[in-house]
Structure 1
Amino acid sequence: MKLNSPLPQPLPKECKKAANIFQSFVDGANNGLDGVIPRSVLENARGFAIFTIFKAGFLFSARAGSGVVIARLHDGSWSCPSAIGIAGLGFGGQAGAEMTDFLIVLNSHAAVRSFMAAGSLTLGGNMSLAVGPLGRNGEASGAVNSSGKMAAMFSYSKTRGLFGGLSLEGSAIVERQDANALAYRSDISVRQLLSGSVDPPEWAQYLIRTIERCTGRPGAHVNWV
C-alpha cells in the first residue's frame, strides 16, 4: 500500500493525494464488500474532508497532517477544493508512530458551513462526529450521536490499509490560507471556494472526477466504481 504524505504540500498535489485516498475508501476490489462506504452515504454527502495524519508519542501523543475539503453545490456539482491543516494532542495509547488516511463525510450544509468559518474547527466539538457505517448495505442511521440524531460528520480511517484506528476527537482543522492563495493566485477565502464563487481550475478536475464517479454526476446516471 502506498503511503500518503501528511506534510503540507501545494494544493494541486493535495488534490491528487485526496483523489487517491477517496478512491481507496470506495474501491470494493481492494477492500472487499464490507470494506466500502455505503452508496447512500456517498449519494447524500454535502461535502468531504480528505487528509492524512501522522501520529507519534508515548504517554502523550501529537498528531498533525494536511489535506483538502470540498463541498457539493446546490446544482449537484462540486466546489473548488480548499487546503486544510490538522493538529491535535492525545493521552495514552500505544507508543510509536503511524500514518492514517481519513475521509470525513459532511452530512449537512451546517457541517460544510463549519469549514467556512474563520479560525479553527474542533472535531467532536460543536459538530458531532461518529464512525461511519461500512458495507454496501450499511445504513447511515446506524451512526447516531447521544441524542439519537445522525452525526453531522462520519469519520472513516485507514492505517496500513485497515479500517479503523486513530480517533479525531479534539483535533483542530484550520484553513491553509497560504496554500490557497498560492494555488488560486489571489487572496481568496474558504467561504468563496466552498460556496461556488470560483470555478474549479484544471488541476482540481482529477479530484472532482474521482468524486463524481463515486457519487454520481449532476443529472446523470450514477456510475459506480
Structure 2
Amino acid sequence: MTRLIGIIGAAFAAFTMALGPAAAKSKQEKAEELIIDAADTVSYFANDSAYEPLWDAADNAKAMVIIPKSLRGGFIIGASGGNAVMVARNDDGSWSEPTFFTVGSLSIGFQAGFEGSETILLVMTQRGMEHLLSTTVKLGADLSLAAGPIGAGAKAQTVDVLAFSRSRGLYGGVSLEGAILKSRGSWNEGYYQANVTPADIIYREKVSRPQSAVLQNAVWALAHRDQPAMMAPLRPAKTDPVTGEPLPEEPVYEDDAIYGAPLDPIESD
C-alpha cells in the first residue's frame, strides 16, 4: 500500500509539472493569462448552439467556475489537473471579481490515453457557493454534481453544480466526479497585490482590477444568451407638413435598434 501511494503521488506530481509552462512567470502574469483564457472559453460556449441547455441554466446560476484547460492522462493510474477561476452573480445582476482555484483528481483502473478539455461549472445553490469559498471542496462528495445537458432542466433545481465540457483526446469524455477544487491564495494575492480570501473578493468586494472586465462581460453575455434581441420601438406615422396626408411608411427592420436603419443609397456613397 505504501508503495502504491508513492506511485500515485509521483504520477500526480509529474502530471502537475507537465501542466506548467516551461518559462517561469509570476503569479500575477499567470492569473492575468487565465482570465483571458477563461473569457475565451466562455465566449466559445456562448456561441455554440450545442450548449443551449447551458444558456438556459446560466440564468439561475449563482456563480460560474471556468476551467479553460484541464489535462488528463495516464496508464492504469490516471491524473488530471488544471487551473480555474470563479465569478459570482451580484445582487444587481452584474458579476463579481474573479477568485482562483486549482483542480485535480486521481483515478486507478484500466485506462490509457490523453485528453484536453474546457469546462464551465454552474453553481446552482447557496450551499455550493459556501463550500467553494472554503479552502477545499470535492465534487460529487461535498457537492452534488450533474453533467449537462443531461443534468439540466428539472434536476438543475436541486443539484449543487452543473458541469458542461468539451473534450479532445483518447479518453472520449470528461469526468469531474471526485475532482478536488482548492483555492489558490497565492494567485489571488498575485493578481490583486493584496492578501485576500475568496470571501473578501466575492462578498466583501475588498479588491478590484480593470483587467477582470473581459471575463465579467463574457460571463454576463453567456448568462443572457437565451434572451431575444430587443425589437425596435414603434415610430409614429409621418405626415406631409402641407397637406397633412400620411406619408408612405419606411421599412422597419428588426435589428434597427441595434444597428440603426439602412442608409439611403445616396447617403451610403
Say whether the fold is shared (TM-score over 0.5).
yes
1:14 matched to 2:34: yes
What RMSD over aligned residues (CA atoms) do the two structures have, in Å?
2.6
1:103 matched to 2:120: yes
Q: For residues 151-193 of structure 1, what are the alpha-carbon distances to aligned partners after superposition, in whole Å with 9 as ceiling and x for unaligned?
A: 11101111139xx712111111111111110110110001111
Structure-1 separation of matches of 2:109 and 2:229: 43
Displacement of 1:78 in angstroms is: 1.0
Structure-2 separation of matches of 1:38 and 1:15: 20
Displacement of 1:110 in angstroms is: 1.7
Does the C-alpha gap of structure 1 residues 139 and 50 become closer, same or farther in structure 2, counting only changes over 3 Å? closer
Question: What pairs up with 1:148-167 in 2 under 5 angstroms?
Answer: 150-160=158-168, 165-167=173-175
Kindly name which structure, 1 or 2, has the bigger radius of gyration based on alpha carbons. 2
1:39 matched to 2:47: no
TM-score, structure 2 normalization: 0.68
The alignment partner of 1:91 has SS state of strand
Displacement of 1:38 in angstroms is: 4.1
1:62 matched to 2:82: no
For 1:27, the equivalent position in structure 2 comes to 47
What letter matches 1:213 in structure 2? A
What letter matches 1:114 in structure 2? H
Runs of 4 or more consecutive aligned structure 1 residues displaced over 6 Å after TM superposition: 221-224
For 2:196, the equivalent position in structure 1 comes to 188
Unaligned runs of 5+ in 1: none
Does the C-alpha gap of structure 1 residues 66 and 139 become closer, same or farther in structure 2, counting only changes over 3 Å? closer
Unaligned runs of 5+ in 2: 1-17, 22-28, 231-269
Structure-1 separation of matches of 2:35 and 2:81: 18
Does the C-alpha gap of structure 1 residues 181 and 139 become closer, same or farther in structure 2, counting only changes over 3 Å? closer
**Alignment equivalent of 2:209, drawn from 201, 209, 224:** 201
Question: What pairs up with 1:137-148 in 2 under 5 angstroms?
Answer: 140-141=153-154, 143=155
Structure-1 separation of matches of 2:59 and 2:204: 19
1:114 matched to 2:127: no
Hey, which of these two has a bigger chunk of helix by percent?
2
